[in-house]
Structure 1
Amino acid sequence: NLTGDNGTLISRMTPVEEGAGYYVHLRDGRVQVNLIKRWLDDAIRVESQEPLATNRWCHLAVTYDGSRLADGIRVYVDGQPIAMNVKLDRLNQTFALPLEPLRIGGGQSTFNGELDDVRIYARDLAATEVELLAVPQTVSEILSLSAASRNEAQRRKLTRYFLDNHASTKIRDADRRLTDLIQQRRAFLENLPTVMVMQEMEQPRDTHVLIRGQYDHPGAKVEPGIPAAFPAMPADAPNNRLGLARWLVSPEHPLTARVAVNRFWQLYFGQGLVSTSEDFGAQGESPSHPQLLDWLATEFVRLGWDMKALQRVIVTSATYRQSSAVSPELLLRDPDNRLLARGPRRRLPAETIRDQALFVSGLLTNRIGGPSVKPYQPEGLWQEIATDTEYIQSHGDDLYRRSLYTYWKRTVAPPTMVTLDATSREACTVQRARTNTPLQALALMNDITFVEAARVFAQRVMVDLDGSMEDRLRLAFLIATARTPRPEELAVLERRFHHSLEIFRNDPSAARELVHVGEFSVNETLDVCELAAFTTVTSLILNLDEVVNKE
């Protein structure tokens, strides 16, 4: 029963200069809940949106689920949850109760009013339990009322009393199972990810041209619509985002399908039919094959915008399946392959090179979905560039997930990916730059991921094929390139193996150091020097032009 607007209801806090603990406080009549490890740096504070009524009794309950999140605090008035505002949500460490006494009606400041029946529970109460506690009448008093005059909360209290005191064991077990299922459902729903959505306002606000971009200097009012340079929206289309989306994918739209198929063509051939894929306007290049671009665009629409079907059309075409070999005469006439007289040849994207090495070695994890992972990275890189940020490396299968799942810090991109021309993602990039530097070869030969992949690749071949070294070299080459090596190529690989084997026989510690690069276990049944020597050969194979290039 409040007689004032401010004061502490309950408190268990260390002295003010330390300020650790919890307290429930009234500030201008609003309920304020505080969990503090260290104020501002490590604390939670939530406050009710509406003040409590004064000079009337009410039941107040506060629950906390131990999640270290402000969202884990619930406040109830007369058994019903009330809306709260989060003032601070920064509890980083596990909250522990201080060795201080519980103070009722004081601690931080004196409470003005009356308190009755204060209870502390050692667990997080469910909303239904709080609702029952808020019913002031005893069971006898509720039973004295007629059944028709009892409210829902009173009926639930009677049900709870019956289940706890008079129900059979079978009914009690069923009730416990139901309670467990309800709690599991609640936990499941609370852990579901949320997605931000957009929707139209009931009454759209007016939008104006801002003179010189100044928000406080509005000019003429503007209406939603399509720029005059484009075809108009259909007369029956809604004048909102849905109408715009339908207009964008309508068969009559001159750009959407053409831009999309040009991007897919660029993906396979290295450049689009319109080489300036980021600019289809007056400043861009004209298409090299306008009729082909138009046909692909209409085919894409006819296929129902099915991206997989469109890519099948491209990769099964005679144009794409040509050899990439080029004669001096053809190179002179068409150095950029704009006439499409040969198949595409270019280095694979950075992510594909890494994934291919993992796949060939047998390391690649095929699991789909899940959170980002943090594979190998030079130690201390984040601290050097981003300060006070620790890179916690993943382990186990997470080290070998597809590059799609690699955690990407925008200002500190994975260094090997950037070396191989992956973008930093600090700005939208339609076409990646393509460079050719010695650093790229050094990365492919020395990065932990590629060294480990080469070693596991060698280990895989040696275990799978119990034959001569020549047979093993032939199999490794076949797995990586999809063809058998020519005699002169096989001779180079054999010389490489025997030369490395001689080095490692003379220095076994170097062999052990090489085969233990990375976390994947070493097959101890294999000769360590042979495995190390074969690793140098598989590393060579993984660095061949026809392995890291699309030919």
Structure 2
Amino acid sequence: MLRSLLCILAFSAPVLIHGADTSASDTKIPFERVEAIFNSRCVDCHGPEKQKGGFRLDLKEAALEGGDSGKAIVPGKSGQSKIVDLITGKDPEEIMPPKGERLSAEEVAAIKRWIDQGAHWPEGKSAAVTKKSTHWAFQPIVRTQPPRVKDAAWAKNPIDNFVLAGLEAKGVKPSPRANPEMLVRRLHLDLLGLPPGPGVVEAFKKDSSPGAFATLVEQTLESPHFGEQWGRHWLDLARYADTDGYEKDFYRPHAWRWRDWVIQSINQDQPFDQFTIDQIAGDLLPNASLDQKIATGFHRNSLLNREGGVDVEEDRTKIVVDRVSTVGTTWLGLTVGCAECHTHKYDPITQKEFYQLYAFFNSVEERNIRAPLPEERGSVQRMESELTTAKRAYVQQSHPELERWAAKVAKLPEIWFTPGQESYELPTFGANNGANLYHQEDGSFLVTGMVDARCHYVMMLNTETNGITGIRVEVMTDEMLPNLGPGWASGGEFLLSELVVESASLKAVNQLTNHPIASVVADYSQPGYGIERTIDGNHDQGGWSIHRANLPINGVDRCAVYTLKDKLGYDDGMRLKVNLVQHHGRSHTLGRLRVSYTTAAPEQLDSQAVPERVKEIARKDVAARTLDEQVTLKRYYQATFEPEAAEFLAITKAMADAPGIKGQVEAQILAERQNSRPTHVHVRGNFLDRGPRVEPGVLAALHPLKSSSGAKNRKDLAEWLVDPANPLTSRVAVNHIWRHLFGEGLVATVGDFGTQGDKPSHPELLDWLATEFMRLGWSRKELIKLIVNSATYQQASDTRPDLAEIDAKNRWLARQNRFRLNAENTRDQYLAASGLLEPKVGGQSVATDKPRRGLYVQFRRSQPEYMFASFDAPNSTFACPARERSNTPLQALTLMNDPLFLECARKLGAEISNQAGPDNERVSQLFQRTVARAPAPSEVTAALALLEKARAYYQANVGAAGELLGKSREGSDPAQAAWTVVARAALNLDEVIMRE
């Protein structure tokens, strides 16, 4: 009911006369008049903050859609509009407002007449936009001139003018410049995530030139470790992980290819606008490069549920929702995901707009592609050229029998229906193990992931079709499979043990009935493994295979046609279940397959055992066939009828040895479906409850979307995000960068620029940086260079008593901030200080005991490395714009006792122990390696005292020395053990894991 729907239509006239004459005047009621009534009387309870009765009057789409009781405004028909009944008091039990004054007769008449005149509501005009138009984040970015300051000598660039002007207005002075040791270490930690190497601090201290620090900045930005550090920040937003998540949490062996693309792109200083476009729509760019396709792996980081019994469509929906939410958080700094189930409570984002954004990602499909590493690409291109030459030679040889056979195949009637090909409705197709079945545009499924040796593939489909007589199973080749497939065994083999067909009425879907199969034919069977063995009822003895010893006849599509004993169908619709049982073991499972059904007469089916791809090629004119189609047709014919032909054996070997088949790394990408899925609003977020259909679109509160083509796609969305007219993207991006250089963003709520987020501490500076970022060609390195060369960045981080009360959180920036390193950087400090760190950039993810940077440690969602979890690493479930920073006893215990950190102390202690010179000099070296500075006299005294105590202990307890060093008693060295104790203490200084 709409009783609560209009509780705030409250109002000024004491009495209304229902049925007042609204036709007395034909004067057109402007929307502005009605909007004023809505704004003043309605939006407090039916606006962005409250939606009583599920109804909003601040947004056009929401107002016309109605609330929980249906439509409240019916354009052209005030008599059928619930809002009129309520405000006129037609039903005394449902009068609005329930208390207080009612609307005046003039106000009611205006609303009625406005509805009768069509309820004209201009696009872009809404009470929500009106009410929120003053929110700072939705305003156009304005570049202001840096203000004049009194202490002009302090300012190194315009950033300092903005900061100093604010400080001077408050009567506060900035902090002095940090000492050289602190400044160099800060720069290295911020830009590289690693401590400065030996001699870097001393070289900087000796350089007295005015541009010494700027030179150091340039050198640091050129380090390949820059991409690792800033790539790690981006991975937080992208919710990167090496596993799927959920209970099974299967490993993703190729996820690292996208991670390495990020590192490479950042090191190359790819402009942020192109960095954005590549990740959202790299596959849609003209002549998209391999790197641009790999970039779309950004959206392959969503969780994926591959547990048994999962509703595939439900999981796909969750993934699309995640992609929309991630884009909103990452680029817009908005909690867009809050509009999945209802219009956003606080920000101008309607539920319809959420699903308009959803539509951009609703028609993508996930693919894995062969992706040679950069160093392999030259040889791969050369080998592909050689293969093309071999293919041309193969098809140029005349073969009259082939053409006569192809002519017969071309005449076969088209009788098969493939679910998910002719319509967007997909069957539920899953496996009882960790296999992941990716739907392809031709209706087939490509199987990847952790495929068990024995498994079932099950297709479930709801259909209105009656009279189904046959089932076709095509086993198909794919370049992702060994030797082209169609199976996952090393030679492309498979073995289908049994095929079981069941059905049930849609009124009783759990009451499945098994349907016997009358006969089955296949286009080819391995001797002793005929297709008839798939209907003998014995799952564990034999089955259908197409392998033939010593002959490479795999790598071609094959087909089996099953004729049912009885026709299938129900008057009220049918659930069809096809179970493909594979019990042979040794990875003899299908790699790509397609299941179709037909209602054709049974006598037609035996001649239909020809793969659809082969029939499609045969139907084409010879001159219209592509080179690959000619090869496919001829290879199929020869594999079936002439498997020992020399030319067939030669081309098959050439294709099997080609770079697209063997020895290449894969990458996870997104690609657009040829046939788009329609998108509907999900009522209350329920994907089964479809509301109105929507087309791709963007937020009305922001600038309009431009489309280079008729159909709006992800490329248009990406370009909309980085359009200079977008008031959010550049602001959000520079705020992220600022946070990583100061520990806090100019907008503290880096993931929420909406009305519930914090206001910027320096709004003019934020806008100036946003415009400067774009002026610099969206260069991340140039913007960072500008910021770190500022006097603001170079201030000391010491706390100041004079600011303790008035600016405890340092929002005025009168000093730098001191904060903890993130989990990965903490680990990196230990490895770097000890000399254990392997400096290699890129490559596959590694186990936690390997001395690689934390960025490369395999991240399992269900069981993350406990050190990372202890130090607040995100769980990679959602985009993480800002990590938590905590200080717990568990962290200290981890750093003291974790085997990896103990090994770092051993290595560092051994190196210091083996150095020549007096102990005090060795203590100095220890401090240089751990905190990049010389120790204070008191620290030297304390370290030497600890050293002497440890020496005495281990000389008296040689066995304990061996235990500490992980060696036998005979191999132990008390002196090294003593230095290990001192190194362990130095590594556990608070300063080691702090950025100052």
Regarding TM over 0.5, the answer is: yes
User: 1:30: Cα distance to partner?
Assistant: 6.2
Q: Does 1:368 align with 2:841?
A: yes
Aligned counterpart, 1:381: none
Report the CA distance shift for 1:315/1:477 in structure 2 as closer, same or farther (over 3 A). Answer: same
Q: Mean Cα displacement is larger for which, 359-368 or 234-243?
A: 234-243
Q: Does 1:45 align with 2:496?
A: yes
Q: Does 1:326 align with 2:799?
A: yes
Partner Cα separation in structure 1 for residue 643 and residue 978 of structure 2: 84
Gap regions ≥5 residues in structure 1? 1-19, 22-26, 38-42, 49-53, 65-72, 96-112, 114-126, 139-152, 161-174, 377-398
Q: 1:471 aligns with which of 912, 921, 928?
A: 921
Matches within 5 A, 1:252-331: 252-331=725-804
Partner Cα separation in structure 2 for residue 400 and residue 514 of structure 1: 20
User: Scaled by the length of structure 2, what TM-score is found?
Assistant: 0.38
Q: Does 1:493 align with 2:493?
A: no
Report the CA distance shift for 1:362/1:87 in structure 2 as closer, same or farther (over 3 A). Answer: farther
Deviation readout 1:519-538 (Å, 9 max, x if unpaired)? xx9996xx711111101111
Q: Which residue identity lines up with residue 715 of structure 2 in the other structure?
A: L
Q: 1:357 aligns with which of 821, 830, 838?
A: 830
User: Per the alignment, in what secondary structure is the counterpart of residue 288 of structure 1?
Assistant: coil
Aligned counterpart, 2:933: 483
Q: 2:974 aligns with which of 515, 518, 529?
A: 529
Q: 1:340 aligns with which of 808, 813, 817?
A: 813
Aligned counterpart, 2:697: 225
Partner Cα separation in structure 1 for residue 695 and residue 635 of structure 2: 53
Q: 1:457 aligns with which of 902, 905, 908?
A: 908
Q: Does 1:548 align with 2:989?
A: no
User: 1:182: Cα distance to partner?
Assistant: 5.6
Q: 1:82 aligns with which of 548, 557, 561?
A: 557
Q: Which residue identity lines up with residue 225 of structure 1 in the other structure?
A: G
Aligned counterpart, 1:414: 865
Partner Cα separation in structure 1 for residue 928 and residue 993 of structure 2: 15
Identity of aligned residues (%): 35
Report the CA distance shift for 1:537/1:333 in structure 2 as closer, same or farther (over 3 A). Answer: same
Deviation readout 1:366-425 (Å, 9 max, x if unpaired)? 22222222224xxxxxxxxxxxxxxxxxxxxxx111111112221222112222222233
Partner Cα separation in structure 1 for residue 487 and residue 821 of structure 2: 53
Contact 1:365/1:401 (<8 A) preserved? yes
Contact 1:277/1:430 (<8 A) preserved? yes
User: Scaled by the length of structure 1, what TM-score is found?
Assistant: 0.65
User: 1:316: Cα distance to partner?
Assistant: 2.5
Partner Cα separation in structure 2 for residue 418 and residue 430 of structure 1: 17
User: 1:34: Cα distance to partner?
Assistant: 13
Aligned counterpart, 2:647: 156
Report the CA distance shift for 1:351/1:84 in structure 2 as closer, same or farther (over 3 A). Answer: farther
Deviation readout 1:337-383 (Å, 9 max, x if unpaired)? 1111111201111110101110111111122222222224xxxxxxx
Partner Cα separation in structure 1 for residue 809 and residue 993 of structure 2: 20
Q: Which residue identity lines up with residue 828 of structure 2 in the other structure?
A: D
Contact 2:486/2:557 (<8 A) preserved? no
Report the CA distance shift for 1:219/1:375 in structure 2 as closer, same or farther (over 3 A). Answer: closer
User: Per the alignment, in what secondary structure is the counterpart of residue 45 of structure 1?
Assistant: coil
Partner Cα separation in structure 2 for residue 89 and residue 449 of structure 1: 44
Deviation readout 1:148-175 (Å, 9 max, x if unpaired)? xxxxx6x837xx8xxxxxxxxxxxxxx9
Aligned counterpart, 1:538: 983
Deviation readout 1:277-325 (Å, 9 max, x if unpaired)? 1110111111001111112212222222222332222222221111111
Partner Cα separation in structure 2 for residue 235 and residue 544 of structure 1: 56
User: 1:183: Cα distance to partner?
Assistant: 4.5
User: Per the alignment, in what secondary structure is the counterpart of residue 532 of structure 1?
Assistant: helix
User: Per the alignment, in what secondary structure is the counterpart of residue 974 of structure 2?
Assistant: helix
Contact 2:920/2:944 (<8 A) preserved? yes
Report the CA distance shift for 1:188/1:532 in structure 2 as closer, same or farther (over 3 A). Answer: farther
User: 1:75: Cα distance to partner?
Assistant: 6.4
User: 1:268: Cα distance to partner?
Assistant: 2.1
Contact 2:474/2:557 (<8 A) preserved? no
Partner Cα separation in structure 2 for residue 533 and residue 491 of structure 1: 15
Q: Does 1:509 align with 2:959?
A: yes
User: Per the alignment, in what secondary structure is the counterpart of residue 421 of structure 1?
Assistant: coil
Partner Cα separation in structure 2 for residue 302 and residue 236 of structure 1: 24
Report the CA distance shift for 1:305/1:500 in structure 2 as closer, same or farther (over 3 A). Answer: same
Q: Mean Cα displacement is larger for which, 282-291 or 406-415?
A: 406-415
User: Per the alignment, in what secondary structure is the counterpart of residue 281 of structure 1?
Assistant: coil
User: 1:250: Cα distance to partner?
Assistant: 1.2
Matches within 5 A, 1:46-195: 60=525, 81-83=556-558, 87=580, 134=640, 156=647, 183-185=656-658, 188-189=661-662, 191-195=664-668
Deviation readout 1:171-207 (Å, 9 max, x if unpaired)? xxxx9xx9987644257547431423221544x4443
Contact 1:59/1:134 (<8 A) preserved? yes
Partner Cα separation in structure 2 for residue 472 and residue 280 of structure 1: 51
Q: Mean Cα displacement is larger for which, 493-502 or 183-192?
A: 183-192
Aligned counterpart, 2:146: none
Partner Cα separation in structure 1 for residue 936 and residue 686 of structure 2: 70
Contact 1:273/1:288 (<8 A) preserved? yes
Q: How many pairs does the alignment contain?
A: 418
Q: Which residue identity lines up with residue 989 of structure 2 in the other structure?
A: L
Partner Cα separation in structure 2 for residue 36 and residue 310 of structure 1: 49
User: Per the alignment, in what secondary structure is the counterpart of residue 196 of structure 1?
Assistant: strand
Q: Which residue identity lines up with residue 495 of structure 1 in the other structure?
A: A
Report the CA distance shift for 1:273/1:371 in structure 2 as closer, same or farther (over 3 A). Answer: same
Report the CA distance shift for 1:259/1:219 in structure 2 as closer, same or farther (over 3 A). Answer: same
Report the CA distance shift for 1:130/1:242 in structure 2 as closer, same or farther (over 3 A). Answer: closer
Partner Cα separation in structure 2 for residue 414 and residue 198 of structure 1: 32
User: Per the alignment, in what secondary structure is the counterpart of residue 422 of structure 1?
Assistant: coil
Contact 2:474/2:558 (<8 A) preserved? no
Q: Which residue identity lines up with residue 757 of structure 2 in the other structure?
A: G
Q: Which residue identity lines up with residue 953 of structure 2 in the other structure?
A: I
Partner Cα separation in structure 2 for residue 494 and residue 60 of structure 1: 80
User: 1:256: Cα distance to partner?
Assistant: 0.6
Deviation readout 1:100-134 (Å, 9 max, x if unpaired)? xxxxxxxxxxxxx9xxxxxxxxxxxxx99997675
Partner Cα separation in structure 2 for residue 220 and residue 78 of structure 1: 51
User: Per the alignment, in what secondary structure is the counterpart of residue 197 of structure 1?
Assistant: strand
User: Per the alignment, in what secondary structure is the counterpart of residue 285 of structure 1?
Assistant: coil
Contact 1:75/1:81 (<8 A) preserved? no
Cα RMSD of the aligned pairs, angstroms, is 4.3
User: Per the alignment, in what secondary structure is the counterpart of residue 723 of structure 2?
Assistant: coil
Partner Cα separation in structure 2 for residue 36 and residue 198 of structure 1: 24
Contact 1:79/1:134 (<8 A) preserved? no
User: 1:333: Cα distance to partner?
Assistant: 2.5
Partner Cα separation in structure 2 for residue 186 and residue 44 of structure 1: 26
Q: Which residue identity lines up with residue 208 of structure 1 in the other structure?
A: H
Report the CA distance shift for 1:325/1:55 in structure 2 as closer, same or farther (over 3 A). Answer: closer
User: 1:550: Cα distance to partner?
Assistant: 0.5
Q: Which residue identity lines up with residue 467 of structure 1 in the other structure?
A: G
Aligned counterpart, 2:716: 243
Contact 2:962/2:969 (<8 A) preserved? no
Q: Which residue identity lines up with residue 647 of structure 2 in the other structure?
A: R
